[in-house]
Amino acid sequence: MAASLRRRSLLTAGLLASLGTLSACGSDASSSARSGHASASPRPTPVDLDTAARQQVGAAMTTLLAGYDSAAAHTELRRGLATQLAALGAGGHAASPSASAAAPVSPASASASASAPVSASPTAPATASGARARPGDAELASGEAGLVSLCVTQLQVVSPVLARLLASIGAGAAQRTVQLGGRVPAATVPSLARLRPTASELDALQAALGAEQATVFGYGVLGALLSGGRRSQATSDFDLHRARRDTLESLITASGATPQAAAAAYTLPFEVTDTASARRLAALLESRLAAVYANAVQASAHAFRDEAATQLRLTALRAQSWGATSTPFPGLPDH
């Protein structure tokens, strides 16, 4: 836990440092005011970490939207990103460091270009004349992958509700990365073996265990109806979920609690009789798991939050691979 706390402190320090440019313009004016009248100097404004994270992630998303606009392609992917940006700006927070903190972001304003490049922005190559070429799929995919990494970093230092949203936004960005033919940043699953969960984290672990148990049962049914590459994929995912189930049982037992028992059987949401229905069931199982892990992000902190966000992202990608409809907010109700 000490390592997690140190990580949180370092991330917090990084956020505070990133806001230095926002206050630079006011510092010169305030210094001249102090020279004339000391009482006129403004008091420093406390930094709200949620606001800072919304600004930084929002700026990256705004620049990435400009890349989509420049490419004039992938309308559906751009719409998903704009929908995410609108949700991120809800509640009176600006999505760009240069925007007023009191102005919510609308999908229309989300297409505006950011004033400076950020890590999640696609970089278009320069042409012989010096003009920038339209970004291709590779550049857009790189921008989306950068957005994944940024969300992973920021969700550790924000409030539980915003962490859940950022984890979902990152999962949606991961789906778009794959759709563009790019590679999602490698998932680093933190070790929880020596950490003791809080009461809310333990509840989240139990909920995830229950969902994984049902998923293992579902894959056992659908795998028999598949062949070739799809059968191999089902077998791999089945083994993955069994390992995940066993890990959760071990974590719960180590905390001093009793893992909930799996049901003898589960009622399938629809009849599974052929390849199409088997694939549909796999997509539904993964989508339902995504919702469980999104809730776990909100219920957790530090390494437990990081691990839940990782599982949400991986589950969203598996759901997509089975044919689930991509959504701007994997694991969350429609906004």
Instruction: Report CA Rg, the chain.
Output: 22
Instruction: Please give the model's pTM, rounded to 2 decimal places.
Output: 0.76
- Are the beta carbons of 107 and 82 closer than 8 angstroms? yes
Give the tokens for residue 310: 């990782």
- Are the beta carbons of 329 and 87 closer than 8 angstroms? yes
Phi, psi of 269 (to 5 degrees): -70, -20
* Under-70 pLDDT residues of the chain: 1-47, 90-134, 334-335
In 3D space, the residue among 320, 281, 322 whose CA is nearest the CA of residue 80 turns out to be: 320
User: How far apart (Å, rounded) are the C-alpha atoms in residues 240 and 234?
Assistant: 10
Q: H-type helices in the chain, by residue range?
A: 2-18, 20-36, 49-71, 75-88, 137-154, 160-179, 199-222, 228-254, 275-299, 302-321
Span 189-227, pLDDT tens digits: 777 878 899 999 999 999 999 999 999 999 999 999 999
- Are the beta carbons of 218 and 242 closer than 8 angstroms? no
3-state secondary structure of 254: helix
In the prediction, which pLDDT does 115 show?
31
In 3D space, the residue among 265, 116, 247 whose CA is nearest the CA of residue 193 turns out to be: 247
Other Cβ atoms less than 10 A from the Cβ of 169: the count is 29
Among all chains, which residue has been given the structure tokens 């700026």?
Answer: 59
User: How far apart (Å, rounded) are the C-alpha atoms in residues 120 and 148?
Assistant: 8
User: How far apart (Å, rounded) are the C-alpha atoms in residues 225 and 74?
Assistant: 34
- Are the beta carbons of 309 and 321 closer than 8 angstroms? no
In the prediction, which pLDDT does 47 show?
63
Handedness of CA 82, 98, 119, 294 (dihedral sign): negative
- Are the beta carbons of 297 and 199 closer than 8 angstroms? no
